[in-house]
Amino acid sequence: MTSAAELRFFPSADGDLAYLDTGSGQPVVLLHSGFADHRVWAAQIPALAARYRVVAPDVRGHGSSANATRPFRWADDLAGLLRHLDAGPAVLVGLSMGGVIATDTVLEHPDLVRAVVTCGAVTGDWRYTDAWHRDLQAETGRALAAGDVEGWLAAFLRGVAGPHRTTDDVDRDVLRRLREMALNTIAKHTPGETDWHVPVTGTLVRAPEIGVPLLTLNGALEPAGLHAAAERLAATVRDGRSATIEGTGHYPNMEKPEDFNAALLGFLDRL
């Protein structure tokens, strides 16, 4: 995993935002999932940096980045970083929350985006509707409200496994690494604090505006509803396609990194 010494910091208008910047060539930005940080991409960063410039930020309120003290949008934070680095237009690769950031950014700042890859996400307006996710979200909400960190972590890791497996079916090291990142991010926050994030609205209906190549790349063990929504997104945009990584759930990049890297590099090399 990346050492803290390798991180750089962008002095945004509301605190310093951490990022990794390595490799050279066309820029590829790796956007991590919620409660994690750039280390989610540990297996992708060296593989991509051999051919591309890789920028992997810690999203505001996560990892080594500052918490928000006033309203903000993920897309604007990312746009500020890309302009600061003169790194646009870039390919945005987003996992879960990061996938929403990617689609938000291509809609709000299209001049900064060359292509988009979403994993475990569609757009910010889309929501899971299956009973499994409703129950999981209710459980995580109760645990957070009660300050039950261990209960929240247990529910978080069940989300990693997905509805078709248990955590016993997921590699122990993947769970350990995600638990470590989640604990680090949770420690930055207090129960009941203000959520300053302002969502971008109307993203589902605006999806046809996406005028760059888009790949939805998901674990085959994700819920059927996600796969259906990802297929619809790929069919909606002008140059969209979809692919799956067999035997994986919400974190295909961590569970089967070689397969994920091959699919991602194949997409990038065709741009």
Q: What is the pLDDT of residue 2?
A: 54
pTM of the model: 0.96
What is the distance between the alpha carbons of residues 242 and 202, in angstroms, rounded to a whole number? 22
Q: What is the pLDDT of residue 167?
A: 95
Q: What is the pLDDT of residues 94-141, one digit of tens each?
A: 999 999 999 999 999 999 999 999 999 999 999 888 888 888 888 888
SS (H, E, C) 126-188: CCCCCHHHHHHHHHHHHHHHHCCHHHHHHHHHHHHHCCCCCHHHCCHHHHHHHHHHHHHHHCC
Q: What is the pLDDT of residue 5?
A: 54
Q: What is the mean pLDDT of the chain?
A: 94
What is the distance between the alpha carbons of residues 18 and 39, in angstroms, rounded to a whole number? 12
The helix or strand, by DSSP H or E, that contains position 119, with its residue range, turns out to be: strand 113-119
Residue 147 scores a pLDDT above 90? no
Domain boundaries, given as residue ranges, for the chain: 4-127+195-269, 131-186
Nearest to 222 by CA among 214, 231, 235: 231
Q: Of 41-45, 116-120, 190-194, which range is least confident?
A: 190-194
Report the percent of the chain where pLDDT is more than 90.
86
Residue 16 scores a pLDDT above 80? yes
Long-range Cβ pairs for the range 182-185 (8 Å, 24+): 182/35, 182/36, 182/153, 182/156, 183/149, 183/153, 184/37, 184/63, 185/35, 185/36, 185/37, 185/61, 185/62, 185/63
Q: What is the pLDDT of residue 4?
A: 53
> Which CATH code is given to the segment(s) 4-127+195-269?
3.40.50.1820
Q: What is the pLDDT of residue 178?
A: 97
